[in-house]
Structure 1
Amino acid sequence: MIPVEGVEDQKIAVLGLGRSGKATAAALAAGGAQVVAWDDGVDTRAAAEAEGMRVLDLTRDDAWHGISMLVTSPGIPHLYPKPHPVIAKAYALGVPVDNDIGLFFRSYATAGWDAFDRPPRVIAVTGSNGKSTTTALIHHILRTCGRPTQMGGNIGTGVLSLDPAQDGEVVVLELSSYQTDLARALTPDVAVLTNLSPDHLDRHAGLGGYFAAKRRLFAEGGPDRAVIGIDEPEGLYLAGQLATSPADDRVIRISAGQKLDRGAWSVFARKGFLSEYRKGRQVASIDLREVKGLPGAHNHQNACAAYAACRSVGLAPRDIEAAFHSFAGLPHRSQLIAERDGVRYVNDSKATNVDSAAKALQAFQKIRWIAGGLGKDGGIAGLSPFLANVAKAYLFGHSARDFALEIGQTPHEIFETLDQAVAAAASEAETGDTVLLAPAAASFDQYPNFEKRGEHFTALVQDLDQA
């Protein structure tokens, strides 16, 4: 646990008592704060009280006497579509609102660092797609190369549940737009933007607000090094804003397709090869085609981002390359589940939007595509340019019929459930095919989250071996 600094004897309220909320309350108490808490769920409040937490109804005006700060969980709206009533009350009363990410950045560094030979570092990763894989890959490379490291944030451990810093340690954080938008302190040593595509637009009142939330990671604290994906206009704009001149190597531009052989420092992937350029000269090259844990151009972009971040903290190219080959990938993200009778089964349940599904569809040939669930605004018409490799689509769930109308002449069949779609795809698949779960939709029509959907797909594939 990382005790929160600067809160001794202050009365601080915590809104939301899920995993991050409970961890935040404990870290505040460890820092000497008097913690009160509230959650909209009756059962959640009862469980918290049973654990000894002081629950206070923050919807009441008289509950706010003496409260100096409100700390909210990231999933609770603080501005759009409208602020949660408790957060709105804090704004009206002039009470500062923060989240666990802000508390982490103000508390991670301590006086004990003076005794370290090498100061700890923080690498923070954000973006629309690939940030979990990039975060896990950076952590894997650091660990494989013998650097002390922890991973947390939107993946793995909550930030305030991490251990206090070690000499020379590198903490790798995945940060969502919900987390970066509200944090009052954002001071990573290395900040990474993988890419940007429309997502969570209701929480940010449009793409501009969404980008602004991501941009805060780079603008608020000024990282020593910024790794920026420039394959979208927003990334190109951000890189231009941060660099003071073409020779400014504090900005590393990355791309999954463009040749970036000009400028101070760049890393790009083309035709399966990663290249690093410094001041117009190539200094390293890695063949990514045989790295099984990173299939497809979208994962090559993740590799570029991770490579650049690890180079920023002093790792050598050949050590990074060796670590690439031992990376197994993350569950539900282009995860190879099985190979059966010459057919590969790939679980990309995390592909919940058009952009991430498009990347998955470009990563494989001869695809038996399983898609469906609860469709998002705009449907899947945007996938039309990426369907050339699809032999047949197996559409299931709430939006299956809508999806069928949007995929043109692509052969398809409609099913009620994932079980039926997997059975049909497996029975029709031929040697060399890939049965790919890339839903392009949310899971909430039939599953509580994309993880459960991916786990079900994995179980169904494993059952095929027993049939």
Structure 2
Amino acid sequence: MIPVRGYEGATIAVLGLGRSGLTAARALRAGGAEVIAWDDGAKGREAAEAEGFTLRELSKPGALDGVATLITSPGIPHLYPAPHPAIAAAWRAGVAVDNDVGLFFRSLGWDDSAPRVVAITGSNGKSTTSALLHHILVEAGKRAHLAGNIGRGVLDLDPPEEDEIIVLELSSYQTELARSLTPDVAVFTNLSPDHLDRHAGFGGYFAAKRRLFAEGGPDRAVIGVDENEGLFLANQLQEAAVDDRVIRVASGKLEGPGWTVTARKGWLAETRKGRQVASVDLRDIAGLPGKHNHQNACCAWAAARSLGLGPREIEAGLRSYPGLPHRSQRIAERAGVAYVNDSKATNVDAAVQALQAFERIRWICGGLQKEGGLEALHPHLSCVAKAYVIGREAAGFALGLGQGVEVEVCGDMATAVAAAARDAQPGETVLLAPAAASFDQYDSFERRGEDFAARVAALD
């Protein structure tokens, strides 16, 4: 655990006692703070009380008297669609509000042994990019740790040393609120509509991501520029056309003399000052199928180069990368049919990327539909032999797919897997890429992916 420094003797309140909240409470106490805590759920309160933390309902009048800072968990709304009552009370009382990511950055460097930190954000691909970069570093013999939205909580890490590298995956919930954001390298993969209720629209969502680059001023920024928001961000950070502090990443050709990493027709190419300095054929790397994973490879490549790794070291890491569970994960092959688990494709854009990775697909989709509808899927359904729709509102989801694809309303995973396996022909792929959240039927996208894998394993 990383003891949180700078709050010795101060009273700090912690709101939300899940993984990150309870770890923050422990780290604050280890650093000498007096901690009071609250969770709206009895389970969280019981866990904190068992560890000796004082409980106090933080939204009650006077509950924040004497409190220096309120630390809130990322899942708790702090502005939109409405602030949690305890956070609103903190604003009125003039109590600073922060989160565990802010505490993490605040606690680095107190003993002159700060590690290097790479922070990765974006709508899609940030988990794969983070895990891939961590894998590349470890394979190259570096002392590296993976934390944040993936792996361990940021404060659950052991106190880092100067020669270590910490790779953080950060969500918009985390970047929006952290009062300290000072990574050495910051990565922006891409942007597509997601979590719009928490950010009051697309502009607020982008603004939350942008804070990672605007607040701390990283030494180097890796920016995916396939969307206008990425182009805008890269342009804001660049002082000139040739500015090595910014590496632009794209799925097509880029103009200008700056530092770029691109993936075109399955080939990764690194260019500096108008000259190609490295290239890799990504098409035969099993752990990175499809254009979306080629973009992830480009982002990881650029970050690794920023940390001083050479092209051969990075390529070796790419080729040995096993892939992440629930993200284009090939889980089985039966009678010439591949079964791929991409349960993490929880929005339309992620599902489009998954669909583009395979040629003929038996597509399992559906769940809790997000804002924006399904129209953006329609131009990408030519590879779908048939869709098998799950979810409590499967019939409505099926209608949203339009007339361009054959659809079977299945309702649940067991029915969908059985139907897809019944219909699939050799050379086809049964793909779970829901284009929807899981919470209508599962606790998480992980549980949904595990159910898919279990149903595939149980096939005759």
The TM tier, using the shorter chain, reads: over 0.9
**Deviation for aligned residue 1:312:** 0.1
Deviations 1:20-63 (A, max 9, x none): 01100011001100000011112321332122111112122222
Q: How many residues align?
A: 459
1:34 aligned partner, one-letter code: E
Aligned to 2:254: 260
2:208 to 210, 213, 216: 213
Aligned to 2:24: 24
Aligned to 1:56: 56
Q: Distance in 1 between matches of 2:41 and 2:257?
A: 53
Aligned to 1:352: 346
**Deviation for aligned residue 1:262:** 2.6
Secondary structure at the residue paired with 1:370? Answer: strand
Give yes or no for contact 2:346–2:434 (8 Å, CA) kept in 1. Answer: yes
Aligned to 2:10: 10
Aligned to 1:137: 132
Whether 2:459 is the aligned partner of 1:452: answer no
Aligned to 2:359: 365
- Percent sequence identity is 65
Whether 2:186 is the aligned partner of 1:191: answer yes
Q: Distance in 2 between matches of 1:148 and 1:99?
A: 26
Gaps of 5+ in 2: none
Q: Distance in 2 between matches of 1:394 and 1:34?
A: 53
Q: Distance in 2 between matches of 1:374 and 1:213?
A: 24
Secondary structure at the residue paired with 1:64? Answer: coil
Q: Distance in 2 between matches of 1:205 and 1:144?
A: 41
Q: Distance in 1 between matches of 2:404 and 2:292?
A: 26
Deviations 1:421-462 (A, max 9, x none): 100100111110000001111111111111000000001111
Whether 2:75 is the aligned partner of 1:75: answer yes
Q: CA RMSD in A?
A: 1.0
**Deviation for aligned residue 1:261:** 5.2
Deviations 1:278-334 (A, max 9, x none): 000000000000110000000000000000000000000011001111111100000
Secondary structure at the residue paired with 2:416? Answer: helix
**Deviation for aligned residue 1:397:** 1.7
1:249 to 222, 244, 258: 244
Between stretches 302-311 and 376-385, larger displacement belongs to 376-385
**Deviation for aligned residue 1:349:** 0.5
Give yes or no for contact 1:261–1:281 (8 Å, CA) kept in 2. Answer: no
Aligned to 1:303: 297
Secondary structure at the residue paired with 1:2? Answer: coil
User: What does 1:278-293 correspond to in 2, within 5 Å?
Assistant: 278-293=272-287
Secondary structure at the residue paired with 1:61? Answer: coil
Q: Distance in 1 between matches of 2:105 and 2:215?
A: 12
1:393 aligned partner, one-letter code: A
Aligned to 1:271: 265
**Deviation for aligned residue 1:112:** 4.2
Q: Distance in 1 between matches of 2:411 and 2:43?
A: 33
Deviations 1:197-225 (A, max 9, x none): 01000000000000000000000010000
Aligned to 2:116: 121
Q: What is the TM-score when the length of structure 1 is the normalising length?
A: 0.97
Whether 2:233 is the aligned partner of 1:238: answer yes
Q: What is the TM-score when the length of structure 2 is the normalising length?
A: 0.98
Gaps of 5+ in 1: 114-118
User: What does 1:127-206 correspond to in 2, within 5 Å?
Assistant: 127-206=122-201
Give yes or no for contact 1:261–1:277 (8 Å, CA) kept in 2. Answer: no
Aligned to 1:376: 370
**Deviation for aligned residue 1:373:** 1.2
Runs (4 or more) in structure 1 with deviation over 3 Å come to none
Aligned to 1:443: 438
Give yes or no for contact 2:223–2:249 (8 Å, CA) kept in 1. Answer: yes
1:234 aligned partner, one-letter code: E
Q: Distance in 2 between matches of 1:128 and 1:85?
A: 28
Q: Distance in 1 between matches of 2:13 and 2:162?
A: 33
